[in-house]
Chain A
């Protein structure tokens, strides 16, 4: 159960559908925080095919959660377009938009905060089914049992309350509740972060299994590149509200092209390294937040490789022969961050 699972070839399963399930085109989100206006997401573009796992990675404050919440419709975006099943969500009538949005469900980091502690598990899972008028009481009861089985939980949990469950079991309930709406897109925001390492591995495997079996597109938000490597087909790396690198999981994590991606990878605790790299800690110290954003490349103040050209432009550009691997950096070397 604890053993590592080898990644299986992902590329073959993806892109069976010609059009992406989700297209985010140039979305920007501005947030008000303590009287200050923060541009949390800047001109982000990404796509996700049905049955594919796209990981959104970056540190806290990089904008990944805000972008996910904009896609889920929890926060408004002030520029850009959101296309789901080839329909522009803001351009369709509200009734169509609502039924489309139902196919986008979210799972959060803290299942304690998202599960009502007063309700029994059966009621928690029945609630969304009642909202969508799934059927009569016995149909709902059958569906709840089915949902529990989908997340590998015993039907006897129906009468329990969240506090009687372990962290892993609660996260399974949160996943089951999201599945009740039969989503085509599941957005999971740090769903493993509050769990034990061994529980993380089993929940990651559950996500992988469900997403494959049900052909769900999964937007997986994580600061944990280890979990990303296990789960994702493609990766988008965010820094200062921008996507700085995107590509297949193998391309981005094995041949990172942006210095920020390389820094994130180097910061991962690694059983093989076993020492604290002083230069790396120094490089991370330089990441201290900036009071203002510089033009063009926002990573420039942190970067030892910076040059004149970085002041003028920093566009996402193809890295090498791989058309899907893009990075917002002019340099293509493998230097340490």
Chain B
């Protein structure tokens, strides 16, 4: 489809679960067309966490949507390959691609309130997914879903299974979303700004949960927050205006950023950490 692309150096962790090669995404057509993603290449191995960091408009969410076959109407992949466990995703039929969602790819979004159907209980959404992808009976699926809700440390899962999305707190909804994403044991989990709307304390719990429960899977974390990425990611890819400006291990990116834009992001993420210049009053 495209000439040979520069592939990211393979991590030593395990086999590549996801390979993205020379991915370009086009929005609109004709003279008004824009390229939200241009010539993007990376891989994620089993058990590895890759963070894609950039500001809004950098193309990071479009990348996640392209991988999840969730691009909005009028937006298409114009070049490149997305290979998931050896299968070229873009060559699959629409039905086969839909089957990937929830089965081989688990998606977690920023706002679960708008992702969950408000008139359906949390349980019915998860049970349907388990029945469809795992061919379970309704009662077997219900048991599996209660286990999954317990697995993301939701309190009283046997009651919560019958609750509606709006009856949960923001942090609880995000846990339920993670339970749904992991329910059918996908090989890849894509989390797009999963903690952006949450308190720092809740954010930390959700990040810990994602990292722990993703376990041997490949995890792609999309975030605008370099500090969040540095908390859980093995490697970080920095995007600006649709392009990758640099990628490397978390230590490399934080300690010796090669690109000016990465240094700007680092400075922005550090602005808060500037210590107060006043003498420390009341120190014991």
CA distance A257 to B226 in the complex (A): 29
Q: What count of chain A residues pass the 8 Å CB interface test? A: 61
Q: Binary interface profile of A, 195-220, with partner B (CB < 8 Å = 1, else 0)?
A: 01110010000000000000000000
Contacts A226-B273, A249-B276, A271-B269: A263 and B227 contacting too (C-beta < 8 A)?
no
Q: A198-B268, A250-B280, A251-B282 are in contact. Are A271 and B55 (CB under 8 A)?
A: no
A296 CB to nearest B CB, Å: 23
Within the complex, the shortest CB–CB distance from B58 to chain A, in Å, comes to 10
Contacts of B230 in A (CB 8 A): 269, 271, 273-274
Listed stretches B4-12, B93-101, B201-209; interface member: B201-209
Residue positions of B touching A, CB distance < 8 A: 55-56, 153, 155, 169-170, 197, 199-205, 207-208, 211, 224-228, 230-232, 250-251, 254, 264-284
With the chains together, A271 CA to B230 CA distance in Å?
Answer: 6
Annotate A31-75 by CB proximity to B: 1 below 8 A, 0 otherwise.
000000000000000000000000000011000000000000000
A255 to B267, CA, bound (A): 25
Contact present for A229 and B274 (CB under 8 Å)? yes
User: Interface SS of chain A: helix, strand, loop or mixed?
Assistant: loop
- Tell yes or no: A332 within 8 A of B by CB: yes
Is the CB–CB distance between B268 and A267 below 8 Å?
no
A89 to B87, CA, bound (A): 69
- Which of B200, B204, B232, B281 is in CB contact (< 8 Å) with A322? B281
- Nearest CB to that of A228 among chain B residues? B272
Complex interface: chain B residues within 8 A of A249 (CB): 276, 278
Q: What chain A residues lie within 8 Å of B208 (beta carbons)?
A: 276, 278, 281
- Whether B203 lies near A197 (C-beta < 8 A) is no
Binds B, one of A17-25, A128-136, A173-181, A284-292: A284-292
Once the chains bind, are B271 and A225 in contact (CB under 8 Å)? no
Interface pair A201/B211, CB less than 8 Å apart: no
Residues of B within 8 A of A138 (CB): none
- Contact (Cβ within 8 A) B274 A268: no
A265 (CB) vs chain B CBs: closest residue: B200
Q: Is the CB of B281 within 8 A of A276?
A: no
**B205 and A284 contacting across the interface, CB-CB below 8 Å:** yes
Residues of A within 8 A of B282 (CB): 247, 251, 255, 257, 319-322, 325
